[in-house]
């Protein structure tokens, strides 16, 4: 149980375009979802936390107008990278919690974004 999926697993796009990444909890209801970014040989950094039906909370330094997060249902959150640039190329990982607290997060397999 507690499976989280991400789609797509990898995406290549041109600079200036927008890319949407989906995160789904397959067998549980995710009250809270988290989006992380991981640059090569670096640790995962939390970008934002989203609760179903409300606005996401962004970490300091993360542009909310560039990284649009929607958590419209208890099983789906989306991250849209708007007007992507090469420096946005990274590995994006989502995680989901059923509301038991921040100590129980189930991680997705990640999405590799390459912006040309």
Partner 1 sequence: KQEVTQIPAALSVPEGENLVLNCSFTDSAIYNLQWFRQDPGKGLTSLLLIQSSQREQTSGRLNASLDKSSGRSTLYIAASQPGDSATYLCAVIGNQFYFGTGTSLTVIP
Kindly tell me which residue out of 31, 52, 91, 99 binds partner 1, with binding defined by CB under 8 A.
91
Cα dihedral 90/93/94/97 (nearest 10): -140
Task: Dig out the tokens for 50 from the structure.
Answer: 């989203």
Nearer to partner 1, 57 or 82 (CB): 57
Q: Does 3 bind partner 1 (CB under 8 A)?
A: no
Name every residue whose Cβ is closer than 8 Å to that of residue 86 and which is 6 or more positions away in sequence. Answer: 15, 115, 116
Q: Does 105 bind partner 1 (CB under 8 A)?
A: yes
Q: How far is CA 16 from the centre of its chain?
A: 19
Nearer to partner 1, 73 or 102 (CB): 102
Can you give the binding site for partner 1, defined by CB under 8 A?
6, 34, 41-46, 49, 91, 93, 95, 101-103, 105, 107-110, 112
């Amino acid at each position: 149980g507690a499976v989280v999926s991400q789609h797509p697993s990898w995406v290549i796009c041109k600079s200036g375009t927008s890319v949407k990444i989906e995160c789904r909890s397959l067998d549980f209801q995710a009250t809270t979802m988290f989006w992380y970014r991981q640059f090569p040989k670096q640790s995962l950094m939390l970008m934002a936390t989203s609760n179903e039906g409300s606005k996401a909370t962004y970490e300091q330094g993360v542009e909310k107008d560039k990284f649009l997060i929607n958590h419209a249902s208890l099983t789906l959150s989306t991250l849209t990278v708007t007007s992507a640039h090469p420096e946005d190329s990274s590995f994006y990982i989502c995680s989901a919690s059923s509301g038991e607290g921040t100590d129980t997060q189930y991680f997705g397999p990640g999405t590799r974004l390459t912006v040309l």
